[in-house]
Chains A and B, each alone.
Chain A
């Protein structure tokens, strides 16, 4: 069977991603929400008085951590490394001297990284949900909530990884840029009132979460995401999805363009 160049790059890169030390370390980090969920579940049973609602904990603690920290961190370290690792380790010569276009190479590597990250993020979120909702698994709204949360996390992974892949193609200190962008720009500007918050990716991701869309049953879940959705002025879901898709496509197109034209000097 002959694989397309994209699939060949994807398969080769997926193997390298799985074997990397970074992947093992970040896989451990991605289990933090699960550890947190277990700890909260134990505490909940032990502490007298009104127990915390499982969905409250999931929406405010697990989703808050996963969307505002975990996905950003994973996307940052995997996205920037797509090109930077090949340059720093001086292995770029090998793919660069194969009959595969540079655009195909970077897209294949991006797809491998995103697939791996999605498995980590979604598995961690689903596990956390099951642990926290173990006694409420028949609660229909909770499953709908989980579905929307997974969609938001998936879009976050795809879009942020594309952004950091692009940054990694032309910035020498792409990690620094990423840290400033994630924990400076994104985590601050998203709370600005009015149009300003729309200049963050996080704004559109939060617009995908349940309980906030006008006329979408928001009042039922108003308390569930009070931390995540503080000062959020939502954009409609179709516009948010379209914006995220366009941003991802633009980041990847720019990454391909820059990577195809840039010369990489290993000893610079």
Chain B
């Protein structure tokens, strides 16, 4: 397939659910490689995923794959693999039957179905459990089976909606490795997540989505710069708030400082989180004041988005 066949394009794409905005004025082009769609829950990621997989019809604008409109165009799905967010299966089938059934819908012969199902199960390391009923699978196995059904027909474009959701660290590592392996031969992979480190583990190319709009798009370093320019809040639990506050007050990297004696908490605002952590580590290694816990309550995507949209 030529590279044009792997290009996913949205042009002024919008989707309304009655009076509720799902997605607004999204124009984007995604080509070969892995692209990460990042946004908090309810940002419009799943709506975008459903629009580009033909499950929803655009209210306005167009979405095309290889130059063809997606809605009501089943032929396109010979080259698209989709892993949905929801944990839904035909529970009374085995993993092998599930894959074989879906592969037969993709138009493969009986022999090809058998071979491809076996290969996909091998790929996601489920071959040993292939003949067990899906309802007995663990969360990680179910997630890998969803990936298997998305890749079994070896599509040029792979779309994964929150594929790491709810997985334990070991399963996450496995799934990340699988996705990376799939990105060979110039295939296009689009992955959505609401967790920045998960996307970072997969790709450097990121699209930030918020409130149904694309907020920023680019390299991970650009996004990281935006995040780093954002004042960070760091909360420290200590046995002596006044002593700890006294050490940090007036330091150039501390923008503001407040403390709550009853909670034993000192809250810093800083533009240089690394420098602040360095100082905190020095204090923690001494005897007094004792540093019991360090948390960064705004080190999450929502606060980054709030910052970017100027809240």
In the bound complex, residues from chain A placing their C-beta under 8 Å from that of B109 are 1-2
B93-146 residues at the A interface, CB under 8 angstroms: 93, 97, 101-102, 104-111
Chain B residues whose C-beta falls within 8 Å of the C-beta of A94 in the assembled complex: 84, 102, 149
On chain A, the residues within 8 Å of B57 by CB distance are: 263
By CB atoms of chain B within 10 A, which of A5, A20, A99 has the most? A99
Q: Are B55 and A93 in contact (CB under 8 A)?
A: yes
Q: Are A97 and B82 in contact (CB under 8 A)?
A: yes
**Interface residue? A91 (CB, 8 A):** yes
The answer, among B74, B76, B90, B105, for a CB contact under 8 Å with A16, is B90
With an 8 A cutoff between CB atoms, is A264 at the interface? yes
A226 interface residue per 8 A CB criterion: no
Docked pose: A5 CA to B110 CA in angstroms? 13
Q: Does A245 contact B (CB under 8 A)?
A: no
Interface pair B89/A99, CB less than 8 Å apart? no
Is A9 a contact of B55 with CB atoms below 8 Å? no
Which residues of A9-61 have CB atoms within 8 Å of chain B's CB atoms? Answer: 9, 11-12, 15-16, 19-20
Provide the residues of chain B in CB contact with A185, threshold 8 Å. Answer: none
Interface 1/0 per residue, A244-268 and B, CB below 8 Å = 0000000000000000100111100
A97 B78 Cβ-Cβ under 8 A:
no
Inter-chain contact B104/A12, CB cutoff 8 Å: yes
Contact A98 B88 (CB under 8 A): no
Binding site for B on A (CB under 8 A): 1-3, 5, 8-9, 11-12, 15-16, 19-20, 89-91, 93-102, 260, 263-266
Q: Which residues of B contact A (CB under 8 A)?
A: 17, 53-57, 72, 74-78, 80, 82, 84, 86, 88-90, 92-93, 97, 101-102, 104-111, 149
4 pairs of A and B residues whose beta carbons are closest in the complex: A90-B88, A12-B101, A19-B92, A98-B105
What are some 18 contacts across the A-B interface (CB < 8 A)? A2-B110, A19-B93, A89-B88, A89-B90, A90-B88, A91-B89, A93-B53, A93-B82, A96-B53, A97-B55, A97-B82, A99-B75, A99-B76, A100-B74, A102-B72, A260-B72, A265-B17, A266-B86
**Apart from A8-B104, A90-B84, A93-B84, what are 13 other A-B pairs with CB-CB below 8 Å?**
A9-B105, A11-B101, A11-B104, A91-B88, A97-B54, A97-B82, A98-B77, A98-B102, A99-B76, A99-B107, A101-B74, A102-B74, A263-B55
